[in-house]
Amino acid sequence: MSVFPAVLAFADGTQFWGKAVGLRGEITGEVVFNTAMTGYQEILTDPSYAGQIVTFTSPHIGNTGTNHADRESHRAWSAGLIVREPPTLPSNFRSEQSFSDWLITENLVGISGVDTRKITHYLREQGSQMACISSLNPNSERAIQLAKQALPMYGRNLTEEVSTQQVYEWHEPSVALSKQVSIHPTSHIVVYDFGVKYSILRQLVDRSCRVTVVPASTPAKQVISMAPDGIVLSNGPGDPYACDNIIAEIRELILSPIPLLGICLGHQLLALALNAQTYKMKSGHHGANHPVKNLSTGRVQVTSQNHNFAVLENTLPVDFDVTHRSLFDGTIQGLRHRKKPIMSVQGHPEASPGPLDASTIFDDFLALLS
């Protein structure tokens, strides 16, 4: 196998040389680090990572190969990836394609053979940074200039890029489902696709819901006319402040009696629709080991997280309570209206990858429907 050099260059001039992995090319994006030890395929196909280059802190990425079942979208959305070592020989009975071959199939450009511990330390100190990965006749000075010219995540509305363009029904349950899904769904849930993960849809089907997915630009009146029992505002990429048109539609949804659940970006958009504020975090939360405390029960859940923005607590309306809080930094992880059937969570209750501690959020939401 031929080995080609590659360079990772940050906008401030910091650079790392290594080996090309995946498709040879040149890409730019915001570099973040993810602390999950498993689930690399789910991470790279999560639309929330659009525009971002993922640094995997686990040293070996690709051990178990790839398969169709572990996708979270129809394609990979991450701008690129940074790994210490991608094993060339996968070992898992579910593997259908090696990780290296899958990266080429998905048109993903990456770099390997670099010190991901040092890169993670750099990102913790400096915060998420714009960078360029070049593995096609790499030149560090050119890569630095491309990193400087790259569009920052702040102020970018990426929902239209990742969202479906047409309404569709979703029927597939979770792979690990141990019980038969009812052929007579009890609730109709409409999901706004701001970059929705398949696992969110699967979790709803697991609970005998009829699931309809609509584009991010769908008017609130159109969704309300579908007479759903509940509405989910999905996860997604980019800066929530840049989604002015979506925020306006969510304001109309809030005025309706239909129960609402916001997840990740949906949580942030819901807060903005309530005239609260969001802010960009230094390095964000990306991983599957984040402890979150349920303030009403006192129980701690280990959760999956993927966000660079958070809700500013002192801007929340008085009729909303903070229901969950991060035990890493105290940031808001959940909200609930005191009277209306409206709730939201910052983490990913569907996990994938990660523990299913927070999956009861879906049960709590469906309890609002009755």
Torsion sign across C-alpha atoms 296, 298, 302, 306: positive
348 is catalytic: yes
Residues with Cβ within 8 Å of 52's Cβ and at least 6 positions away in sequence, in order, are 29, 30, 31, 32, 78, 79, 153, 237
Q: Within 10 Å of residue 273's Cβ, how many Cβ atoms?
A: 22
Q: Which residue in the block uniquely carries the two structure tokens 């990306």?
A: 286
- From 264, 267, 286, 337, the catalytic residue: 264
Distance CA 10, CA 118 (A): 13
Extract the tokens encoding 183.
Answer: 């052929």
132 is catalytic: no
- From 285, 290, 337, 348, the catalytic residue: 348
Q: Which residue in the block uniquely carries the two structure tokens 């030890």?
A: 37
106 is catalytic: no
Strands, sheet with 277-294, edge to edge from the N-terminal-most edge strand: 168-170, 209-215, 187-193, 230-233, 260-263, 342-345, 332-337, 320-326, 277-294, 300-312
> 232 forms bridges with which residues in the sheet?
191, 261
* Strand runs labelled E in the chain: 5-10, 15-22, 26-34, 52-56, 80-82, 109-112, 129-134, 168-170, 187-193, 209-215, 230-233, 260-263, 277-294, 300-312, 320-326, 332-337, 342-345
User: For residue 78, what are the CA distances in angstroms to 17, 54, 97?
Assistant: 21, 7, 19
- In total, the chain counts a number of residues equal to 370
Active site residues: 264, 348, 350
